[in-house]
Amino acid sequence: MFDEKTSIELKTLASYFPIDKPLYAVGGCVRDYLRGKDCYDIDLAGGVKPEELVGILGASPFGVVSASPRLGTVIIKGKSTYEYTTFRIDSYPSGSGVHTPTQVEFTDDLTVDARRRDFKCNAIYYGIREGRIIDPLGGIKDIELNVLSTTVDPDTVLSQDGLRILRLARFVSTLGYCIEERTYESARRLVGRLNEISVERIREELNRILAGKHCYKALCFMRDIGALKIILPELAANDGVPQKAEYHKYDVLEHTFKVVEECPPQVRLAALFHDIAKGICQAKDGNMYFHNTVGAEMTEDIMKRLKYPNREIERTARMVKLHMFDINGNTKESKCRRFIANNIDIFDDMLALFEADCIGTGHFQNSRTADKLRKIYAKMLEEKVPMSIKELAINGKDLQSLGYDGKEIGRMLNEIWDIALIGGAVNRKDALMGIARRKIKR
């Protein structure tokens, strides 16, 4: 099940556990193993309580670090690190939005522990000592059927923690599974519980949803049950907003989902927001001409609300603002060169967004903008064009030697860089110093 080194270490660890309270792997690692996928994060569980575990492992090569004693969770450190949680029964206060249970009761009953988990496919156990799979609730059948169903009544599971509705979407995205009918209806009925969830937890689940291979399917689920209206109402407002049929096969929201699907994971957040202002612009101005500029501002506001890091906000909003660059294909090469150099840090991602935006129309497979910019960039590389002032063959001290000082140095470096950038001079010291000499005489 695990790689050889991990398997040996886990068997050694399991040998310290009592025969009547064996050690189990549980959750995603077991699920992924049964799906034929590699196991990475390994969660452990068993009937041994945290305070007992310290004594059991006291003379072993494993260390125990308390993580959440109330929840029965500790960190076991060997050559690798594992999270161990004692079998337990959880109690959640109704409507609180609290992620962690307010009352916990420890047990040594594996089946009882399984019932407090979210979905059956995550409630399968692997007995490490005996090497045996234990499936108390029928999770293996769900894996075989590619379906997600809850461990007990779905209303109970999803009402305990509203975030489990987004976890459903996440597993749809990462696993590609369908949702069992009763579980789906419960999610739709209880979607208002998302109002109880902190923005940080929503942000983390959104990131995981967008990272999944089947993110389109997950986004459709979130739209259909009303989750988007709660966590991203600005995005949901584009549902049903029509676009010109000659350019777009889909409405704004469906087009957005298609674009997200076509993008690599690191571009998907920008793809999700790239047309977010179309509905607002259409309603206000009767057209969508400046949706990229308005959308960049909206993206900033939304990401600040979800408490994204400032650097990620800046990057994503910039991509949204730039996604309409050269949309008509008539931008001059000099301006394209400046665009490439000024956005070299996101250039590859912008190309991916341009291409996905075309595919997402349902009409076009190739982006003229991406093709054009690639050719110009290749030309710039061949010419060894400096992509920044730092790459210039001269610097401030060189200009000082010619008599430039103060702000004039920075202004002239920028001017010379622009000349070299658009192909007006080779990036060679003598050539650039010649330009600087001629300009100082003016």
pLDDT in tens, 84-121: 999 999 876 655 545 566 778 999 999 999 999 999 99
pLDDT of residue 198: 95
What value, to the nearest 5°, has the Cα angle with vertex 361 and ends 253 and 364?
Answer: 170
pLDDT at 207 over 90: yes
Contact at 8 Å (CB) between 236 and 229?
yes
Could you tell me which of 152, 155, 148, 167 has the C-alpha nearest to residue 112? 152
Q: What is the pLDDT of residue 69?
A: 80
Q: What's the per-residue H, E or C state across 77-143? A: ECCCEEEEEECEEEECCCCCCCCCCCEEEECCCHHHHHHCCCEHHHCCEEECCCCEEECCCCHHHHH
Q: First and final CA of the chain: distance in angstroms? A: 76
Angstrom distances, CA of residue 14 to CA of 40, 87, 217, 411: 18, 16, 40, 68
Give the pLDDT confidence of 388-428 residue by residue, as tens digits.
999 999 999 999 999 999 999 999 999 999 999 999 999 99
Q: Which two tokens stand for residue 52?
A: 């007992």
Distance of CA 245 to the CA centre of its chain: 31
pLDDT tens, 251-307?
999 999 999 999 999 999 999 999 999 999 999 999 999 999 999 999 999 999 999
> Going by DSSP bridges, is the β-strand pair 88-91/81-86 parallel, antiparallel, or unpaired?
unpaired
